Amino acid sequence: MNISKTLITKIQIAERVSELAKQINADYKGQELCVIGILNGSFIFLADLIRELKVDVRVEFMGISSYQDGTESSGKLLITKDLNLNLNMADVLIIEDIVDSGVTAARLVEMLKSRNPRSIKVCSLLNKQSRRVNDFAADYIGFEIENEFVVGYGLDCAGKFRQLKDIGVIEIN
């Protein structure tokens, strides 16, 4: 496996994270925000984003999967790590690394609505609109990308490449 090209540089990422934080700060001014990072891919993005936030934040992580043993979503949401906090009347911001088909994100939002939050929004670093199979739309999007397999800045391929500072396209041989 090789990186065939750099898609988004660390400088572009930092600038966009700052812009997203400004939007989120304006939208939640004076409020406490419950930020939920979806493991494992979102952790670097989440860390950089919350350091730019000026609102009070509580941070929690959740592990979910809709892939089980395949490469395509099964449509069923498996919780591998649940939340340790109560979402009742909380303003929730879900942090995703990438929204691809939209199936997992849509199901997660629906599931979390049953926990009675005041609001739920989704912030995704990357968005692959061309792969969408439903009408799900994230509220905050870092970058629109084409249908390429990307790694770096938390995104991986078989557990590798998460540590890269840039986001690159990978060739799978």
pLDDT at residue number 74: 55
How far CA 73 is from CA of 78, 102, 109, 123, 143, in Å, comes to 11, 10, 16, 20, 22
Report DSSP state, residue 41. T
| Whether residue 100 lies in the annotated active site | yes
Give 10-residue mean pLDDT values along the chain (173 residues).
92 98 98 96 97 97 71 67 94 96 92 96 96 93 95 93 96 73
For the chain, domains (ranges, CATH) are 11-147 (3.40.50.2020)
pLDDT, position 71: 43
Sheet strands (E) in 20-55? 32-39
Of the candidates 69, 82, 100, 156, the residue annotated as catalytic is 100
Token readout for 53 is: 């936030």
Q: Which of 89, 4, 12 is nearest to 48 (CA)?
A: 12
